Amino acid sequence: MVAAAASVDPAGWQSLLGEMLLRIGHRFVRVESRRRAGRFVQGLLAGLARVNCWTVAEQVGDRAPDGMQNLLSRATWDADGVRDDLREVVVEQLGVEDAMLVIDETGDLKKGVESVGVQRQYTGTAGRIENSQMSVFLVYSTPAGHTFIDRELYLPESWAEDQARRDRAGVPAQTLFTTKSRLALAMIARALEAGVRVGWVTGDEAYGKDAAGLRDPLEAREQAYVLAVACDHRVPGPGEESVRADERAAALPKRAWQKLSAGAGAKGRRYYLWARLRLHPAGKTGYHWILMRRNRRTGETAFYRCYSPAGSRWPTSRASPGGAGRSRRPSRPAKNSPASTSTRSAPGPPGTAGPPWSCSRTPSSPSPRLRLAAHRRPRA
């Protein structure tokens, strides 16, 4: 949405925003709330260094943040209905038959302990364990562009089981602890049930490792996916025993690797060496692969678990994991950088969550990550 403003003239941008606000207007009970929502969106799109009710209110000319705070906490409007309206607009503008749905999560750093879901956990925003609030997002991606179409706030078990804390924060009784994979699955199901045509679902290894929570349900829907997994992910071997993904990669002959583009980068096409192996999991139907992507210079290799209900050719650069965004884990994530807000968590000591990687952080065993900065590219 932010990048869209740079691709049209200011008058045209304001017209597009006005059309969108008219479309969602019926989701607001009072006209004052509808108008304030429009001003709030204008503030969000202003590129503020810090975004909160105070800075947004100041940006749009309000003397105090009370109105914005009321909009978010007390005003009556249908947030899920607005989400559905936005999804319809996105599909109308960007939609194709084989669009991609991309799962990713973002951590917001917090200083206090009262924000819903806040706890000490690993967040890519800081690149370490910090006091933060986690959300899972669903991105719709096509050659015309990509943007968010759904979101779910992650409520950790420490919050879900603390009734007093829930009551103070106003957490609804029906909101229970749900894993991030299940939150992602719920968003995917909403999109599919709304008639969104999807070719592939993709996400990082926090989601690829969860067979019961995500991979198996997607297969039950016959929904194709390409999900990152760790280098120590176990896959069926040549015999009856399973082996590590990186062991299977190391055993491949040189001729098994093909040079293919993962999409355009700042310096032109981004070429990697790719290989894939057909898998035959017991009791499974459809087509299963382990897909491997190797950096031609460093030898770093990323791994992806893939499924399709029917046979599939090599994916195009847009449908490949690299086409959804640069797929790598930086050794030093930039603090508060949009490119480093993809976050993951794994069980750690009580009250904390740590980074999920279990493999050695060496060139031979990287941990791939998929991330997107929501924007829309202008049509040719």
262-277 per-position pLDDT tens digit: 888 889 999 999 999 9
CA angle 61, 64, 66 (to 5 degrees): 120
Rounded mean pLDDT, 199-216: 95
Give tens-digit pLDDT for 225-241: 999 999 999 998 777 78
Predicted confidence at residue 292, as pLDDT, reads: 97
Cβ neighbours, 10 Å, residue 248: 21
Pairing mode, strands 287-294 and 353-354: unpaired
What mean pLDDT is reported for the chain?
A: 82
Burial of 300 (0-12, 13-18, 19+ CB in 10 A): buried
pLDDT at 237: 78
Nearest Cα neighbor of 71 from 114, 108, 28 is 28
What CA–CA distance (Å, rounded) separates 221 from 215? 10
- Residue 31 pLDDT > 90, yes or no? yes
pLDDT of residue 148: 94
Strands 225-229 and 234-236: unpaired
What's the residue count for the chain? Answer: 380
Integer Cα distance of 180 and 165 in angstroms? 21
Nearest one of 108, 299, 323 to 199, comparing CA atoms: 323
The CA distance from 38 to 34, in Å, is: 7
Q: pLDDT value at position 314?
A: 55
Of residues 323 and 196, more confidence is placed in 196
Cα 244 to chain centroid distance, Å, stands at 26
Confidence of residue 351 (pLDDT cuts 50, 70, 90): very low
Q: What percent of the chain has pLDDT above 70?
A: 79
pTM (2 d.p.): 0.80
pLDDT given at position 15:
84
Tell me the one-letter amino acid at 296: R
Q: What is the mean pLDDT of residues 96-104?
A: 93
Report in angstroms the alpha-carbon separations of 293 from 238, 245, 328: 21, 12, 11
The string of DSSP codes covering 191-245 is HHHTT--EEEEEE-HHHHT-IIIIIHHHHHTT--EEEEE-TT-EEE-SSSSEEEH
Domains of the chain: residue spans and CATH: 1-77 (no CATH), 79-354 (3.90.350)
Burial class (CB in 10 A: 0-12, 13-18, 19+), 61: exposed
- Taking alpha carbons only, the member of 190, 336, 333, 327 closest to residue 272 is 327
Res 239: pLDDT: 73
Which element (helix H / strand E) includes 90? helix 79-94
Give the three-state DSSP class for 345: coil
Query: If pLDDT is split at 50, 70 and 90, which confidence band does 372 have?
Result: very low
280-317 pLDDT, tens per residue? 988 899 999 999 999 999 999 999 999 999 877 654 44
